[in-house]
Amino acid sequence: MATPTKPINLGLLFGGRSCEHEISVTSARSILRAINRHKYNISLLGIDKAGQWHLADNFDSLLSDGAVQPAAAGKLPRGGGGVEPVTLALHPNGNLRTLRDSPPLPHHQLPQLEVIFPALHGTFGEDGALQGVLEMAGIPYVGCGVAASAVAMDKLLAKKIFQLAGIPQAAYIGLSASQWQHTGARAALMARGEAELGYPMFVKPANLGSSVGISKVRAPAQLKNAIELALRFDHKILLEQAMENCVEAECAVLGNAMLGAQQQHRPQASVVGEIIPHAEFYDYAAKYLDDQSELVVPANIPRAAAAQVRELSLAAFQEIDGAGLARVDFFVSRASGRVTLNEINTMPGFTPISMYPRLWAASGVPYAELIDRLIELAVQTQRAKAALQRSV
């Protein structure tokens, strides 16, 4: 009889400070529902909107109105069935500690985490900041590292890196708040945008997600407002040529780009899917508020275009030195089949109906297995990094 392997202490992190807090809660709920409880001892770690971490043994006790709420949060079972709230900090080697203002808890009641699944999207989740904390704590974690996360989150940095790699992208111009501050320079900046990009044009904050702060600008009179809206969300923004009459195609990557990764851990690209937004473009409402946008798998694009999407997805993942997962988004011209990279997301939505897991399900990797593979990749990445550190 095979000896049962010891369950892994897994911290499932969710919520967080970004505007994608609620989406993260939904992703985490789906992971919890599907994960193999024989393989993992799960600690639920909810991060509230103020950034405080809370631990619970029960998902719903952390939540109120779909968000992590401090008042209801952090209930840990104690002797006699009572519960007390705890607020946490993460220390090296996966040790959790209660903060000073929490009631003291016996150390053995706090789990020592062996791996973390940060099911967090957007700022302070997907942008490298949390990944830095986890690196400092020395805990393996699912997904891309500090640099890959930060670059993927910053549309301007990502554009520059992909440009160097020769990956086709929409023409763009970067613009900073300090450039815009010079009121005398504004007319020239806008004229340059018009001359180089034309209308329609997209205006976006560099560091955000979920289409927040993004405008499609159709005429000169709208440009100034669109720039000022985007600058409310970030100190640097992009003006981008609109890719008209295109299919929005998406591809999922799974694996580690790290040089020397074993064969079974090398990045793989899924089948290609298609988004049909129920709006002029895939804006916040189309993404999350109405459920009429359609995800179609496989995408209705020519075979050669799909092959190119997969190839460019792997190239983009390799360029940012990705680890674990990423969803790579493209525009495919209906007229010419030409493929243009839009962006790479290092922690895409993770419910079973989200594109990333759906693409893997359609490629033969069901949801629960996908979770296992991601956790295995996290452990493998950490091992490879530790081996490198030892050899220094």
Ligand X SMILES: Nc1ncnc2c1ncn2[C@@H]1O[C@H](COP(=O)(O)OP(=O)(O)O)[C@@H](O)[C@H]1O
Residues that bind ligand X (CB under 6 A): 170, 202, 204, 209-211, 214, 240-243, 248, 277, 281-282, 329, 342-343
Q: Work out how close the CB of 215 gets to ligand X at its nearest, in angstroms, rounded to a whole number.
A: 9
Q: Work out how close the CB of 193 gets to ligand X at its nearest, in angstroms, rounded to a whole number.
A: 13
CB 120, CB 16: distance < 8 Å:
yes
CB 78, CB 84: distance < 8 Å:
yes
Distance of CA 379 to the CA centre of its chain: 19
Name the pairing type of β-strands 8-15 and 53-56: unpaired
Question: How far apart are alpha carbons 320 and 41 in whole angstroms?
Answer: 32
Q: Work out how close the CB of 277 gets to ligand X at its nearest, in angstroms, rounded to a whole number.
A: 6
Q: Work out how close the CB of 336 gets to ligand X at its nearest, in angstroms, rounded to a whole number.
A: 15
> Within 10 A of 368 (CB to CB), how many other CB atoms are there?
15
Number of helical (H) and strand (E) elements in the chain, helices listed first: 11, 19
Q: Work out how close the CB of 153 gets to ligand X at its nearest, in angstroms, rounded to a whole number.
A: 9
- Report the residue number, 274 or 343, with the smaller CB distance to ligand X: 343
CA dihedral (151, 313, 336, 163) positive or negative? positive
Q: Work out how close the CB of 34 gets to ligand X at its nearest, in angstroms, rounded to a whole number.
A: 25
Residue 372, exposed/middle/buried by CB under 10 A (0-12, 13-18, 19+)? Answer: middle
Read out DSSP for 310-329? HHHHHHHHHHTT-EEEEEEE
Token pair 């000896």 in the structure block, residue: 3
Q: Nearest residue to ligand X, using CB? A: 282
- Report the residue number, 244 or 311, with the smaller CB distance to ligand X: 244
- Report the residue number, 116 or 251, with the smaller CB distance to ligand X: 251
Question: How far apart are alpha carbons 297 and 363 in whole angstroms?
Answer: 10
Token pair 């830095």 in the structure block, residue: 132
Question: How far apart are alpha carbons 221 and 224 in whole angstroms?
Answer: 7
- Report the residue number, 210 or 256, with the smaller CB distance to ligand X: 210
Tokens of 133: 């904390």
Token pair 């460019």 in the structure block, residue: 312
- Report the residue number, 113 or 214, with the smaller CB distance to ligand X: 214
Q: Work out how close the CB of 154 gets to ligand X at its nearest, in angstroms, rounded to a whole number.
A: 11
- Report the residue number, 277 or 298, with the smaller CB distance to ligand X: 277
Name the pairing type of β-strands 83-85 and 75-77: antiparallel
Q: Work out how close the CB of 202 gets to ligand X at its nearest, in angstroms, rounded to a whole number.
A: 4
- Report the residue number, 214 or 309, with the smaller CB distance to ligand X: 214
- Report the residue number, 114 or 248, with the smaller CB distance to ligand X: 248
